[in-house]
Amino acid sequence: MATQWEAIKNRADVLAQLLSGPSIDPRERHTIQREFSLLSTLLEKKHELDELDKALAETAEQATDTTDPEMAELFTAELSDLSLKKKQMEDAIEDMLYPSNPYDEKSIFLEIRAGAGGQEAALFAGDLLTLYTNYAEQKGWRAAVTSMSETDLGGIREVVLHIEGKDAYGHLKFESGVHRVQRVPKTESAGRIHTSTATVAVLPEMDEVEIDINPADLRIDVYRSGGAGGQHVNTTDSAVRITHIPTGVVVACQDERSQHKNKAKALKMLQARILTAQQEKQHAQMSEARKELVGRGMRAEKVRTYNYPQNRITDHQVELTLKKLDVIMTGDLDEIVQALREHDRQERRKKPLKIS
């Protein structure tokens, strides 16, 4: 471990010299500053941990040497407090040494699409929209529908929800995949249980410096908004649709009254989708052998089953089953989210921080 801390110190010194040197490319500077900040914080926490170790040793010695019962009790209480602080510091350092996804702190665009099951799938997509909107509100995040296509029975063909808040991606990134529902549809008169699906995709919101898009590669169309909005609906061309010509990626935004604001938000969505496509392409290339063995792609994996007759929800990523589907569908998703985050933490411990 001492060798690793020495490597961290040496790397931080190299980065500090780079940042204080001649001007560098903004994109490169952004990357270097982020790494330097991480390593600097690690070194600060290591120093605090060393000081805690010293304080623990001194307090333990004083507790052993004293003959005063009251002082001994005080030293024992102090040892307990210092030990708790040390454990918290060690956990914080461990989380940094076994780093999470660098985009975990980002806001997100959460896309829900009706899958197999016709109208029932569309109704289930609407239920998922309510679930994630309520969960975002419980976490103190801001959730707003960016674009939506509805069915004539009140279901949703597809919807994009913008969730703005710290650590939104870290909490909800595991929602991506196929969600399966088992229940008696409202459209079923015979009372038979049907199985339908909806797909969820969670995309981190990118900063402009992270994804470079050439304006010449964009086709931007404006049109009049539809849906709720009172007197502002269909009176101005405020809605924006952007097509990234090289990749064919299309995004649309109409939730703001201002065309300028809709365009800005649509560009962020575009950046998020292009980044995700790049990451998936890289992942596919790296894990082609695994895909051949297991016979399925990451996107096609069933992540969760919602069984309404049994009031049961099962997350297949961590094999967690809870008998309170009714409560969870109101937005009380934290028990599942925390289980997924803990599983991710255990997996990350197998891949420690790489020091250049």
Domain end call among 97, 121, 152: 97
Around Cβ 121, how many Cβ atoms within 10 Å?
24
119 and 47 part of one domain: no
Which pLDDT score, from 0 to 100, does residue 98 have? 81
Residue 174 located in a structural domain: yes
Comparing 224 with 266, the larger pLDDT belongs to 266
CA separation for the pair 170, 329 (Å, rounded): 20
Which pLDDT score, from 0 to 100, does residue 283 have? 53
Comparing 168 with 271, the larger pLDDT belongs to 168
pLDDT digits (tens, 9 = 90+) for 267-301: 888 888 887 777 666 556 544 433 333 333 333 46
90 and 180 part of one domain: no
Which pLDDT score, from 0 to 100, does residue 92 have? 83
pLDDT digits (tens, 9 = 90+) for 303-343: 999 999 999 999 999 999 999 999 999 999 999 999 999 99
319 and 173 part of one domain: yes
Indicate if the pLDDT at residue 203 is higher than 70: yes
Residue 353 located in a structural domain: no
Residue 155 located in a structural domain: yes
Residue 272 located in a structural domain: no
205 and 135 part of one domain: yes
187 and 46 part of one domain: no
Q: How confident is the model at residue 356 (pLDDT cuts 50, 70, 90)?
A: low
Residue 182 located in a structural domain: yes
198 and 115 part of one domain: yes
Asked if 148 and 254 touch (Cβ cutoff 8 Å), the reply is: no
87 and 156 part of one domain: no
174 and 320 part of one domain: yes
Average of per-residue pLDDT values in the chain: 85
Which pLDDT score, from 0 to 100, does residue 210 have? 59
Residue 288 located in a structural domain: no
Q: How confident is the model at residue 231 (pLDDT cuts 50, 70, 90)?
A: very low
- Residue-range definition of the domain harbouring residue 56: 2-97
80 and 203 part of one domain: no
81 and 138 part of one domain: no
Comparing 276 with 111, the larger pLDDT belongs to 111
For the chain, state the CA radius of gyration.
25
Q: What is the β-pairing status of strands 177-183 and 302-307?
A: parallel
Q: What is the CATH number of the domain that holds 182?
A: 3.30.70.1660
Domain end call among 97, 123, 152: 97
pLDDT digits (tens, 9 = 90+) for 248-259: 889 999 877 788
pLDDT digits (tens, 9 = 90+) for 51-78: 999 999 999 999 999 899 999 999 999 9
185 and 333 part of one domain: yes
Determine the residue type at 53: D
CA dihedral sign of residues 32, 168, 201, 160: negative
Indicate if the pLDDT at residue 234 is higher than 80: no
Q: How confident is the model over 198-209, as a mean pLDDT?
A: 80
Kindly report which listed range (92-106, 109-123, 127-141) carries the lowest average pLDDT score: 92-106
Number of domains present in the structure of the chain: 2
Residue 222 located in a structural domain: no
Which pLDDT score, from 0 to 100, does residue 175 have? 95
Comparing 28 with 57, the larger pLDDT belongs to 57
153 and 13 part of one domain: no
Residue 18 located in a structural domain: yes
